[in-house]
Amino acid sequence: MPTAKDVSQYMLCLTDPDVGEIISNLKLQKLIYYAQGFHLAMHETPLFEEDILAWEHGPVVEDVYQEYKQYGAGAIPQPEEFDESVFSAIQIELLKEVYEVYGQFSAWKLRNMTHSERPWIETPKNEVIPHALMKEFFKDYVA
């Protein structure tokens, strides 16, 4: 099973810094949250095992946050190399789609979106957002 860090590195690989695309830690957190939510809804299983916590600024995987916090609100550089073989073809397709749909939004837009969604709203602050709640919520967005 891929890790949340694998998912975050793949998302970073999808950016095109030459056209000004950047991913900050805040934005990255929201992208991996959406990837997990849609994977749960579509496949009934988590994409990665790490917990997602309901922090003040939205859903966060603490290990990924700690990994990239040194960049603050700035751009996280793309990994120099990344082996995408940790993902299945179906997972790659899902990650690309999540990036295409949600990657166009700013970090603060994504933050505000998560703040209007049940998984973050219904989870006590700093607690784990339950997979069951995410799966139920994201089921409404998949056909």
Q: What is the pLDDT of residue 113?
A: 98
- Distance CA(139)–CA(143), nearest Å, equals 8
Given a contact cutoff of 8 angstroms between Cβ atoms, the answer to whether 5 and 63 are in contact is yes
Give the per-residue pLDDT at 63.
97
Buried b (16+ CB within 10 A) or exposed e, 97-111: ebbeebbeeebeebb
Q: What is the pLDDT along the chain (143 residues), one digit of tens a residue?
A: 999 999 999 999 999 888 888 999 999 999 999 999 999 999 999 999 999 999 999 999 999 999 999 999 999 999 999 999 999 999 999 999 999 999 999 999 999 999 999 999 999 999 999 999 999 999 999 87
Q: What is the pLDDT of residue 19?
A: 84
- pLDDT score of 17: 82
- pLDDT for 82 equals 92
Tell me what pLDDT residue 84 has: 93
